[in-house]
Amino acid sequence: MRKLLYIFIALFIISCAKKQKEAPIEATESMEIDKTETVIETAAIEDKKEAFSYQNLTEQKLQDYYDLLVLQQQHPAFIEDIKTQLQKLSKDVITIPDATEKVTIKNVQQIGESQQVSDSVQKIRLSFDVVTENSKKRDSITALVSTKKLYLDQKEIISTKVVFEKQ
C-alpha cells in the first residue's frame, strides 16, 4: 500500500513540474509587464522618499509633542512626567493656547534643503499647520534627525530619533 502511495506522490510532483514549465506566452508577457510596473512604482516611491524621507516620522513626533502639551494642560498632576517626555522631544519650550482640547498637525512640508550636520545627524527645516478647535495656524520648526545603526540578534537595525528646536 505504501508503494502505491509513493508512486502517486511522485507522479503528482512530476505532473505539476511539467505544467509550470509549459506556461503560455501570454502569461510570460504579463509577468514581464508586471515586473516593469513594479520597477516603475518602486522608482517613483524612491523619488518621493528622497524629497522628504522623514515626513511620516516627523509628523508623528510633532503630533505626539502637541498631544503631550494638551495632556499637560488637562492633567496638571502628571506635570513632572510630561515635562520629562517633552524634553526628550524638544530642546525649546513650545506653547499652545490655554483651554485647548485637541491639537492636530497637518501639511508637514520641508523648507529648503536638509543640512548634514554629521554622519548621523540631519537638520531639516519644517513648515506645518497647527489646527485647534478654533483656529488654524502655520508654524515652522527645525527637526534634528539622528540615525544610528544597532545590531540585534546579528541583524542590522537603524534607529531614528527626532528632536525639535525652535528658531
Question: Is 95 within the bounds of a domain?
Answer: yes
For the domain that residue 111 is a member of, what is the CATH number?
A: 3.10.450
Question: Is 16 within the bounds of a domain?
Answer: no
Quickly state the pLDDT bin for 49 (edges 50, 70, 90).
very low
Question: Is 78 within the bounds of a domain?
Answer: yes
| DSSP assignment string, 77-125 | GGHHHHHHHHHHHBSS-----TT----EEEEEEEEEEEEE-SSSEEEEE
Question: Is 9 within the bounds of a domain?
Answer: no
Contact 67, 105 (CB under 8 A): no
Query: Per the structure block, which three cell numbers stand in for 97?
Result: 493656547
* Predicted TM-score of the model (pTM): 0.63
Which range of residues forms the domain containing residue 63? 53-165
C-alpha 82/C-alpha 113 separation (Å) is 32
Question: Is 69 within the bounds of a domain?
Answer: yes
C-alpha 151/C-alpha 21 separation (Å) is 42
So what's the pLDDT on residue 48?
Answer: 44
Count of the separate structural domains present in the chain: 1
Question: Is 58 within the bounds of a domain?
Answer: yes
Is the pLDDT at 38 greater than 60, yes or no?
no
pLDDT tens digits along 53-73: 778 888 898 889 888 888 888
